[in-house]
Chain A
């Protein structure tokens, strides 16, 4: 049985609404990508250098990092030689397999680490405008659905209107937001929030921070301090440090992942704005080089548009049209 069919079987076994949502959200990404893969296969009947060069470009067009693409395509060249693959259609499953391999994280580490005895603290970090506050609102909703008591900490005290933005989300979802005035010390907000959340008996505390570009040393130091204060108050915390990445971002996402990992030891990625035409392929490179798993993807502006990341679904989404063609 071909790899595609196996993949499809595994995926169709989990046809709940969540999977549908994931699929629908990825519609545009999938359409354009698999269309291109198909036309690539149609254009080059045989697997030759031109085929590989265009494949290279196709993957680069999905923002998969340049280095990762070169590596991947080299691997495919070897594999094609080894298995004596001549027809371009036959190499598509191998491409898909290699991609899934790189996205598939061992075990269940795309699930969030929760504190077994006490309050779980999750810190959100990232550059400006990636969707940290929105993601927190959505994740608060996600937790509330499973009857957790959630409190939000308005740690973006810098950007105008950021505190109000989180407050609106708090109202929408129906959870408390701990905040201080604009311009106050974000570490102090966290200190306050932890104590307030404790006294309210919260299970989950989601901490917002101001967006910052990773090359601003002082701002990264400030973030380290925020984390230290959290750690001092709850020694096992933060249980997750989630880096929010915009799927539209190109190669710079790698630099973001590196710098934020260094400063705050990022434990997972939330890939936002995947409902557009951007592919977010850079997560492949990030997983490759830094081994940070993707935990959630943002697929729209509504409260329930945040979905747990499923590597198989993600790749299946990219290749779905091809799977169906193969079966015809």
Chain B
């Protein structure tokens, strides 16, 4: 890249060098080689001979083209779940074994109830995997949501029929069908899915795909799509460290949108899929947008402003500190947050840094063991108070001392920072927290 800086036009050699890198990056991200080939050819066509924009180097120009093409391929918008004109809306989950259909079915039900005010119910039609029905029943119990099941001896087609009927009878506006995992090349089992489809005509057939899937993702997606005409895809286990190139492969061969992404094992960790962000993840550029959005929705702006004022005057109390901790915690595990910062993965120390959420718990316990007066004025602290706090929080006096010291350092730092800030930008509102607009 250094070599091709400062040129006015992108020439073929530049592009060749860049596309080689792009090709390897995509292959390493598990994008199917055929998709990569088509993609790289398009990049070559588009990039050669282009005038380099004023602000860009040829290298950046190629990256820009790559990014645009990737984003276009991934689709630009979030996709929604269809709603039936006449309820109930029927959603059928299909996919290979172990992709995460059952978990996703429960997560989706929870999501639709919480975010879309639906009244979903679940149907356990996986009669093959041992205890799959138990699994869905347990999840249903956790969610306090009805699950229709009828043992493992019945035909799955009859089960989904009866399940949909129950949804109608009990006025559920949405019914989610969990089906058994199966190989896309298993003709009889694929036939069974088709029978289920014909029996209840689902409004959405969602193919559940493991984000770690390799080159075979195209075969899987193609087969399921050809035989069932899927409406969309759910990408699971995206909280892992996979680059998730399967997403791109699936898009390219089926042209069906990825609608949701599974982001963890907890029942509320299903998120609408953001295609434009996936493009940068596949290329390995971090997921800044996710981080910003997460912060925006979770941090109460009023409180942040109040806090900012307090910071400026350095009259921060332990109560504020606790509030701050709560806000950070509500953004999800710190590890997740760190993972979204571009480059954080590469930074020394950060890569294997173990974010210990239990440390936060300790700090919280100590603060909560303080009296009101102590929280406002740490100077009150003496040996006997510290002993009491340590005892009350199940920690040691050393832990308490450490926290007091850290808190003091923080206040000092803030004082310094705010005096610098107000010095530089007079009247412009002073210090901005990183998560404020």
Knowing A276-B185, A277-B216, A301-B128 are in contact, say whether A57-B24 is a contact too (CB < 8 A).
no
Partner of A165, one of B129, B142, B245: B129
For A, the interface residue count at a CB cutoff of 8 angstroms equals 47
Evaluate contact between B241 and A255: CB separation under 8 angstroms.
yes
Say if the beta carbon of A214 comes within 8 Å of chain B. yes
Main secondary structure of the interface of B (DSSP, over half): loop
Partner of A246, one of B30, B133, B210, B220: B210
Knowing A167-B131, A276-B185, A277-B219 are in contact, say whether A246-B98 is a contact too (CB < 8 A).
yes
Evaluate contact between B98 and A60: CB separation under 8 angstroms.
no
Q: Please name all residues of chain A whose beta carbon is closer than 8 Å to the beta carbon of B213 when the two chains form the complex.
A: 248-250
Complex Cα gap A122–B209 (Å): 30
Interface residues of A (CB under 8 A from B): 28, 57, 60-63, 66, 127-131, 137, 158-162, 164-165, 167-169, 172, 182, 213-218, 246, 248-253, 255, 273, 275-279, 282, 301
CB distance from A284 to the nearest CB of B (A): 13
Nearest chain A residue, comparing its CB with the CB of B141: A160
Evaluate contact between B30 and A214: CB separation under 8 angstroms.
no
Q: Please name all residues of chain B whose beta carbon is closer than 8 Å to the beta carbon of A57 when the two chains form the complex.
A: 33, 37
Complex Cα gap A266–B242 (Å): 21
Complex Cα gap A172–B142 (Å): 28
Say if the beta carbon of B240 comes within 8 Å of chain A. yes
Knowing A158-B265, A248-B96 are in contact, say whether A165-B237 is a contact too (CB < 8 A).
no
Evaluate contact between B131 and A276: CB separation under 8 angstroms.
no
Evaluate contact between B184 and A165: CB separation under 8 angstroms.
no
Nearest chain A residue, comparing its CB with the CB of B180: A301
For B, the interface residue count at a CB cutoff of 8 angstroms equals 53
Q: Within residues 204 to 222 of chain B, which ones have a CB less than 8 A from any CB in chain A? A: 210, 212-217, 219-220
Nearest chain A residue, comparing its CB with the CB of B357: A218
CB distance from B73 to the nearest CB of A (A): 18
Q: Please name all residues of chain A whose beta carbon is closer than 8 Å to the beta carbon of B243 when the two chains form the complex.
A: 251-252
Which among B24, B134, B243 has the highest number of chain A CB atoms within 10 Å?
B134
Q: Within residues 238 to 265 of chain B, which ones have a CB less than 8 A from any CB in chain A? A: 239-243, 245-246, 265
Q: When each residue 117-146 of chain B gets 1 if its CB lies under 8 Å from chain A and 0 otherwise, what string results?
A: 000000000001111111111110010000
Evaluate contact between B245 and A250: CB separation under 8 angstroms.
yes
Evaluate contact between B99 and A129: CB separation under 8 angstroms.
yes
Nearest chain B residue, comparing its CB with the CB of A250: B214
Evaluate contact between A161 and B132: CB separation under 8 angstroms.
yes
A-B contacts, 18 of them at CB < 8 A, read A61-B32, A128-B98, A129-B210, A160-B135, A161-B136, A161-B137, A164-B135, A165-B132, A165-B134, A169-B130, A215-B239, A217-B354, A248-B210, A251-B214, A251-B243, A255-B241, A255-B242, A276-B96
Complex Cα gap A78–B241 (Å): 35
Evaluate contact between B237 and A213: CB separation under 8 angstroms.
yes
Complex Cα gap A169–B246 (Å): 32
Nearest chain B residue, comparing its CB with the CB of A59: B33
Evaluate contact between A249 and B183: CB separation under 8 angstroms.
no
Q: Please name all residues of chain B whose beta carbon is closer than 8 Å to the beta carbon of A246 when the two chains form the complex.
A: 98, 210, 212
Evaluate contact between B220 and A248: CB separation under 8 angstroms.
yes
Q: Please name all residues of chain A whose beta carbon is closer than 8 Å to the beta carbon of B241 when the two chains form the complex.
A: 213-215, 252, 255
Evaluate contact between A168 and B27: CB separation under 8 angstroms.
no
Evaluate contact between A249 and B215: CB separation under 8 angstroms.
no
Nearest chain B residue, comparing its CB with the CB of A62: B215
Evaluate contact between A252 and B97: CB separation under 8 angstroms.
no
Complex Cα gap A9–B131 (Å): 44
Complex Cα gap A164–B132 (Å): 9
